[in-house]
Amino acid sequence: MMVSMSYPPEHKVKTHTRIVTAAAKSFRQAGMLATGIDQLMADAGLTRGGFYAHFRSKAALFAESLHAAFAEARENLLFKGLDKRSGHEWVQAASKRYLAKSHRDTPDEGCAIPALGAEVARAPDEVKEAFEREVDGIITAISERGGLSKPEATALLATWVGGITLARGMKDPAASSQVLEDCRAEVARRFPG
């Protein structure tokens, strides 16, 4: 006689969230293409068998995980310890946080844009659409918090992303740190606090 195990209704939602959270971290660490479904499910503490009960494809999970990664980035960038700042004072503080060695060294916990941007460019349209929505949301938030026009907020984000991307790609720690310092100095020059 076979006994059926039943789970409470919230079990599937909790499991789904665990997978998305693990994927957001794994994709930022190793990239979508280098991260297999077996590894993703293991990172979530599950087996491969349950993957397709939650997602139709790895690309669908990638698109959904972007939302989780961006939500974490928004919290870290806009609020965590910076919630009382605004205008150019916030821009300076956020720049120091974004263009920091700690952010450079932890892509799995950092902004999804430099960690995944190149892969998104080659991803299916559903991923690009999710990425575009999230980037637009970040630009809007930067504009509001920094008192900047949307073009200024876009240029600021591009400076941050470009700086982190260049710094992560350098072997020489001194050269990498110099890139971060140069980008912070440029932001300070353009948006004096």
With b for 16 or more beta-carbon neighbours within 10 A and e for fewer, the 12-42 pattern comes to eeebbebbbbbbbbbbbbeebeebeeeebbe
Higher-pLDDT residue of 180 and 51 is 180
Arithmetic mean of pLDDT over the chain = 89
pLDDT, position 2:
52
Task: Give 68-126 pLDDT, tens digit per residue.
Answer: 888 888 888 778 888 889 999 999 999 999 999 999 999 988 899 999 998 899 888 98
pLDDT, position 51:
86
Helices (H), 31-149: 37-43, 58-74, 87-98, 101-104, 112-121, 125-146
pTM of the model as a whole: 0.83
Tokens 């994709």 sit at which residue? Answer: 27
Task: Give 142-158 pLDDT, tens digit per residue.
Answer: 999 999 999 999 999 99
pLDDT, position 136:
96
Q: pLDDT-derived band of residue 59, with 50, 70 and 90 as boundaries?
A: confident
Q: pLDDT-derived band of residue 181, with 50, 70 and 90 as boundaries?
A: very high
Rounded CA-CA distance 125/110 in Å is: 24
Rounded CA-CA distance 69/90 in Å is: 22
Task: Find the mean pLDDT for residues 57-68.
Answer: 88
Rounded CA-CA distance 63/24 in Å is: 10
Higher-pLDDT residue of 30 and 180 is 180
State the Cα angle at 77 between 142 and 45, rounded to 5°. Answer: 130
Burial class (CB in 10 A: 0-12, 13-18, 19+), 133: middle
Rounded CA-CA distance 139/152 in Å is: 9
